[in-house]
Structure 1
Amino acid sequence: MSKAFRLSFIFAIMASLNSAYADFADLPPYYTQDFVQKIDQGTLKNTLLKISLQNILSKIHVKTTGRDLVKDSCPDQSECEEQLTTLTYRQAREILFGKIHLQSNDNGYFLNEVYCRQTISEEDGVGRGQIPDHTQVNCEHTWPQSRFNPNESKNAQLTDLHHLFPSNSRANSSRGNLIFAEVDGGVINEECTSSHRGTAYGSSETAFEPPPEHRGNVARALFYFSVRYNHPIGSLEEEFLKKWHWQDPVDEEERSRNEKVYEVQKNRNPFIDAPELVELVNDF
């Protein structure tokens, strides 16, 4: 598949989805009035947009009756919020497994991991505030630890819930720190046929291909991480991520997860809240 064909496919999907976009004025009050106005006016794109989003994601939010104000410090007698960056890794995993992804039915608690589309149950240690059996499910850092930005807080990157997902342990190990792409390769193993590892199309680089149902989630998690921690995404990976962003659009489950992360961490993924922002960034 040629790069030109892939790009034309992306643009075709983008055009088909344009009519579904919400008005920027409908964004949550987390986003400042200045940001919303400049987006509507078309004056925030590329680097300026990324800088603006990083400020919104990382700085102190002063709560008002309308939209938040973004400041370097909290004024006296003001209600303020900022990204929680002091969680321990254990606390982050307890929240990820035991709150954000925790579900229940008549048989008890369970969670669904993302790479093999498997259900992990109470017999493997799933429960409220619990970390399950690590031989069955692990905490996947969608942005791998080996590629963290050394100029940003390591703990903030390690525990940032926006890019953490429960994943099958063997698939997690197989992915390692590989880039994401569509690949010419085989399934992870006979029990995990939803994900693939192989050579990225259009390259000789080894890559990891997640299930179609999780590809958009991967893309938006990486776009968020790139902007929040000021770290670039390689051109090959970005090409596939932008394609997946439109192929696997935001659904209600992903919106709900974004809200749950915000409740804990006090910042949001803007590419879930406003998927069209991806169009305004030529190069993550």
Structure 2
Amino acid sequence: MPRLRTPAPRTALVALAAGLALTCVATTAPAATSESSAPANRSATALDDTYYQDALGKTGPALKDALHTIISDQSKLSYSQVWDALKDTDEDPANSSNVVLLYAGRSQSKSSNGGDVDDWNREHVWAKSHGDFGTATGPGTDIHHLRPEDVSVNSVRGNKDFDNGGSPVGEAPENTTDSDSFEPRDAVKGDVARMIFYMAVRYQGDDGFADLEPNDRVDNGSQPYIGRLSVLKQWNEQDPPDAFEQRRNQVIFDRYQHNRNPFIDHPEWAEAIW
């Protein structure tokens, strides 16, 4: 698929990091409908020498600020371009005609996207009402947190915060929900946490959008917060990055936004910041 935008200004660094990292990322992901053990992220060393060099040795706010500067250098997609991007980033490794739905976990035809009940649509993992950014170019179109999902399951999740507990979701019973929270299936709990961490670092209120931040509450409404942070940190530990998630990060870096989710490359940075 051709690039949708010209790479961000830091072309030489991006190209070097991509070239070094791409040789190390698994080319064949495990079946994405079941949980898999996480392979060693062998690209991290190469990326530390290039892409992440300004963040090394830092913790807390200093690390968060350094990562914000690094990942804010990106190309941006329109909301309509997100459709085609997700068909690439979330492609089923066992069937190139399909995508894997984040919560439902099923493999579904790339062409069955839309608004009908059994279609898949674009799920904002950081709910777009939490900070009121809608589908605006920027946080509303950032494919590091946009994922394919069944229309009905997406509706059940709505704008709920993340937490443990609840009753099984009818069309995706490996997930549970209650009145104010949603718990994703075990195989993607860490994926969800790392997408939330990415959004909190990428969008800090200096680009016309709200300063997004995880907190340890649920029922955050339209405030620019999402929880529950303590649970998200547990999920990050419980479900480390697998080959599907690592490939997705690399495809976004190489072909679309030209920035990375640092918490996929370095899951331990979540604890170092929060």
TM-score between both structures, scaled by the size of structure 1: 0.69
Sequence identity, in percent? 32
Is the partner of 2:149 in helix, strand or coil? strand
Out of 105, 128, 142, the position equivalent to 2:125 is 142
Is 1:234 aligned with 2:206? no
Out of 137, 142, 148, the position equivalent to 1:155 is 137
Cα distance between partner residues in 2 of 1:116 and 1:242: 22
Cα distance between partner residues in 2 of 1:149 and 1:229: 13
Out of 161, 168, 179, the position equivalent to 1:187 is 168
Contact 1:21 1:276 in 2 (8 A): no
Query: What's the RMSD between the two structures over aligned residues?
Result: 2.6
* Deviation at residue 118 of structure 1 after TM alignment: 1.8
Query: Which structure is higher in helix share?
Result: 1
Contact 1:27 1:274 in 2 (8 A): no
Is the partner of 1:115 in helix, strand or coil? coil
Cα distance between partner residues in 2 of 1:148 and 1:210: 22
Cα distance between partner residues in 1 of 2:146 and 2:164: 21
Cα distance between partner residues in 1 of 2:116 and 2:257: 24
Is the partner of 1:214 in helix, strand or coil? helix
Specify which structure has the bigger relative contact order, considering alpha-carbon pairs within 8 angstroms and separated by 6 or more residues. Answer: 2
Do the aligned partners of residues 89 and 179 (structure 1) sit closer, same or farther apart at CA in structure 2, a change above 3 Å counting?
A: same
* Structure 2 partner of 1:88: 78
Structure 2 segments unaligned to the other structure (5+ residues):
1-39, 205-211, 218-227
Contact 2:68 2:201 in 1 (8 A): yes
* Deviation at residue 26 of structure 1 after TM alignment: 4.0
Is the partner of 1:35 in helix, strand or coil? coil
**1:90-119 Cα shifts (integer Å, max 9, x gaps):** 1012211x211224767x711211112222
Cα distance between partner residues in 1 of 2:156 and 2:135: 27
Contact 1:45 1:280 in 2 (8 A): yes
Is 1:34 aligned with 2:54? yes
Q: Which structure has the greater CA radius of gyration? A: 1
Cα distance between partner residues in 1 of 2:137 and 2:265: 25
* Structure 2 partner of 1:278: 270
Which residue identity is paired with 1:214? Answer: V
Contact 2:92 2:107 in 1 (8 A): no
* Structure 2 partner of 1:168: 150
Structure 1 segments unaligned to the other structure (5+ residues):
1-19, 60-82, 200-205
* Deviation at residue 89 of structure 1 after TM alignment: 0.5
Contact 2:135 2:141 in 1 (8 A): no
* Deviation at residue 212 of structure 1 after TM alignment: 0.4
**1:66-90 Cα shifts (integer Å, max 9, x gaps):** xxxxxxxxxxxxxxxxx112x2101
**1:131-170 Cα shifts (integer Å, max 9, x gaps):** 45643211110001111376x9941111101001111111
Do the aligned partners of residues 29 and 89 (structure 1) sit closer, same or farther apart at CA in structure 2, a change above 3 Å counting?
A: farther
Cα distance between partner residues in 2 of 1:100 and 1:145: 20
Is 1:58 aligned with 2:63? no
Is 1:258 aligned with 2:249? yes
* Structure 1 partner of 2:23: none
* Structure 1 partner of 2:102: 114
